[in-house]
Structure 1
């Protein structure tokens, strides 16, 4: 029955909030799709993979009917949709144009996938009695290659409205496994023979050739090694502490992070977290947390965060002893008190020094004023003495000049004397 599979609700496009519901459900399916991709596609650290994440949508939506995102390991390198019908390179090395044969191969393969998903969607909708609404079909297909260039596997996995449809894997080029699920009953024998022939003769050669080309162009991105940074975080919570082991800023995403208690690994069921997440800058992060009760804190366990990564020659360790928390608080408080005391003494020294400078400056100012006053007085007395001397000299000069004038007048008014000394007669 249709109700068994819980398809997307049949809502008319004119209904308010229609696209919100469709986008929400597509978002949930995409999240599950990419989680499955990272779980399967990045299982080995000594290999590289190329994956096509295809989505086919039946019904009226603003999205293309068919879209494909191409991933080299965990880096997007290409895009294809049914509107453009040609492959677009999306890698980091965009200085060179992509080869025509690579674009041609991509367009050819994605055209085959498009028609295959379109036909399968028609049969599944008929099988599930879905005649209206929006239906979402997703397929992940790709290949993996070892470091020596040998193909490791090729596989695909398909879902319809979040329901598993079928799955095929051609591993080590010798073992072929096909699971038709529960929606394709009666097609097992035919589908197995068809998928195996398609994998061996068409998809595998094209996928491995494309993988090598993409890897050559993007080797500086996907083959780089960035070592992790490790932190052991203690967070106080109700009833104790939460000890978190955090590794961040590393690439590639494969890492072994372990939380040890007294040298022994903590059981995974006692930890929270443990999922590798993107860091937003092309690197990854991983956190594992443990709740430590107050009773456990008293036992003074030693907690160690250990990380193994491809970029590290040796393991990376960060440790913390729970019993040192109180001593750490006391030492921190003592250090703060010593710093406050030093600051206070320094402030007192500055105040005393400033006051001494002010007192010395005022004393020097008074001394300068007295010296200036004495100099002014001395200068005034000398000026007065010089003025008195000048006046006396002037008076003496005036008196001498006056006496000289009187003598001249007396000489001019007296009659000339005769040779015998008697005065001349006046007639």
Structure 2
């Protein structure tokens, strides 16, 4: 069974011919100023909707609102699932704390479920698994229709859920039949934006001549992208600080990565460049580390140079653009 990661972090990467419908549900205990329950639905790693114990209902992302309006039964399902799961997860995490002899502290219960569909072979794989405090707790073997667990504390749950044949067959129907059918509909509807690839504008930014240089990419879509500094063609892992991918108000994304230049001799600047990579796009965007292209209190104009399979962006700005 694929190990559930600690806290709130899951990672799933689908191959080009595979599509995925994933549901992430998380309950927390002992985490101040944080929702006690959160849920999210993703198609091919793109969020369809979200709910938590603060908003108390399911909300869909803008790209999916037309689909939910045309198929209200799907939205009704998610609203109901959000409501019922909050109560189930709250009761379950309380029960698990007693089972593990925990009287307090921070504790997290997660469920990752859904399906994958290979649109070339037609193969379907469903899954439903739970993790507690970052470790595998119990998961469903859909082939054998039985629950499996590495934890002795989960054995009582396994016996009870194995004996519930209606629950087992309901799981089999959802993860082998219903969710794959939904996934095919979602993929068909979403092809226009799931296959959209908008490249970003890339800039070098610096507050003062001695501060770190920030490589900033904005306006890209998909969010399967990477931004990093290189030296002599090799990715740098030291003296860099990479930020997260963040959403823009128009549905595109932005990210940045900082480079500490304090120990770089001026004659060595030409060895460094910033690389933007997007999954499924062959060409990279390469921005050379060059004082003349850094956006700060001097310089103006814009220059773009293409070379082979790489595009070099040189960005200048006037004083009032800082």
What TM-score, normalized to structure 1?
0.49
**Distance change in 2, residues 1:141/1:110 (3 Å):** farther
**Distance change in 2, residues 1:112/1:190 (3 Å):** farther
User: Where in structure 2 are there 5+ consecutive unaligned residues?
Assistant: 1-5, 301-322
- 303-312 vs 245-254, greater mean Cα deviation: 303-312
User: Where in structure 1 are there 5+ consecutive unaligned residues?
Assistant: 1-30, 333-427
Instruction: Give the secondary-structure state (helix, strand or coil) at the position aligned to 1:218.
Output: helix
Equivalent of 1:277, from 233, 246, 270?
Answer: 246
In structure 2, the partner of 1:217 is 189
Instruction: Give the secondary-structure state (helix, strand or coil) at the position aligned to 1:217.
Output: helix
| Superposition pairs of residues 257-272 of structure 1, within 5 angstroms | 257-261=227-231, 263-272=232-241
**Distance change in 2, residues 1:308/1:331 (3 Å):** closer
1:307 and 2:280 equivalent? no
Query: What is the rounded CA distance, in whole Å, between the counterparts of 2:75 and 2:187 in structure 1?
Result: 15
In structure 2, the partner of 1:316 is 285
Instruction: Give the secondary-structure state (helix, strand or coil) at the position aligned to 1:268.
Output: coil
Instruction: Give the secondary-structure state (helix, strand or coil) at the position aligned to 2:66.
Output: coil
Q: CA deviation at 1:272?
A: 1.2
In structure 2, the partner of 1:123 is 95
Q: Please list the CA deviations of residues 133-178 of structure 1 after superposition, one character each: whole Å capped at 9, or x if unmatched.
A: 998744333333345464356343434xx5646264879x89x996
Q: CA deviation at 1:273?
A: 1.1
1:158 and 2:131 equivalent? yes
**Distance change in 2, residues 1:130/1:256 (3 Å):** closer
Tell me how many residue pairs correspond in the alignment: 280
Query: What is the rounded CA distance, in whole Å, between the counterparts of 1:315 and 1:202 in structure 2?
Result: 41
Query: What is the rounded CA distance, in whole Å, between the counterparts of 2:29 and 2:268 in structure 1?
Result: 62
Query: What is the rounded CA distance, in whole Å, between the counterparts of 1:187 and 1:96 in structure 2?
Result: 42
1:98 and 2:71 equivalent? yes
Instruction: Give the secondary-structure state (helix, strand or coil) at the position aligned to 2:70.
Output: coil
**Distance change in 2, residues 1:266/1:127 (3 Å):** same
**Distance change in 2, residues 1:190/1:95 (3 Å):** closer
Q: CA deviation at 1:271?
A: 1.9
In structure 1, the partner of 2:217 is 247
Q: CA deviation at 1:287?
A: 1.9
Q: Please list the CA deviations of residues 19-74 of structure 1 after superposition, one character each: whole Å capped at 9, or x if unmatched.
A: xxxxxxxxxxxx952xx14xx13565664432333355899xxx999774433332
Q: 1:57, 1:135 within 8 Å by CA — same for their partners in 2?
A: yes
Higher strand share: 2
Q: Please list the CA deviations of residues 89-122 of structure 1 after superposition, one character each: whole Å capped at 9, or x if unmatched.
A: 663315843164x468668877986686466335
Larger radius of gyration: 1
Query: What is the rounded CA distance, in whole Å, between the counterparts of 1:284 and 1:311 in structure 2?
Result: 16
Greater relative contact order (Cα < 8 A, sep 6+): 2
Q: 1:153, 1:169 within 8 Å by CA — same for their partners in 2?
A: no
Instruction: Give the secondary-structure state (helix, strand or coil) at the position aligned to 1:227.
Output: coil
Query: What is the rounded CA distance, in whole Å, between the counterparts of 1:318 and 1:204 in structure 2?
Result: 46
Q: 1:170, 1:199 within 8 Å by CA — same for their partners in 2?
A: no
Query: What is the rounded CA distance, in whole Å, between the counterparts of 1:232 and 1:77 in structure 2?
Result: 34
Q: CA deviation at 1:255?
A: 1.7
Q: CA deviation at 1:187?
A: 5.2
Q: Please list the CA deviations of residues 389-424 of structure 1 after superposition, one character each: whole Å capped at 9, or x if unmatched.
A: xxxxxxxxxxxxxxxxxxxxxxxxxxxxxxxxxxxx
Query: What is the rounded CA distance, in whole Å, between the counterparts of 2:225 and 2:266 in structure 1?
Result: 29
What TM-score, normalized to structure 2?
0.61
**Distance change in 2, residues 1:229/1:311 (3 Å):** farther
Q: CA deviation at 1:283?
A: 1.9
In structure 2, the partner of 1:50 is 21
The CA RMSD over aligned residues, in Å, is 5.1
In structure 1, the partner of 2:41 is 70
Query: What is the rounded CA distance, in whole Å, between the counterparts of 1:145 and 1:127 in structure 2?
Result: 37
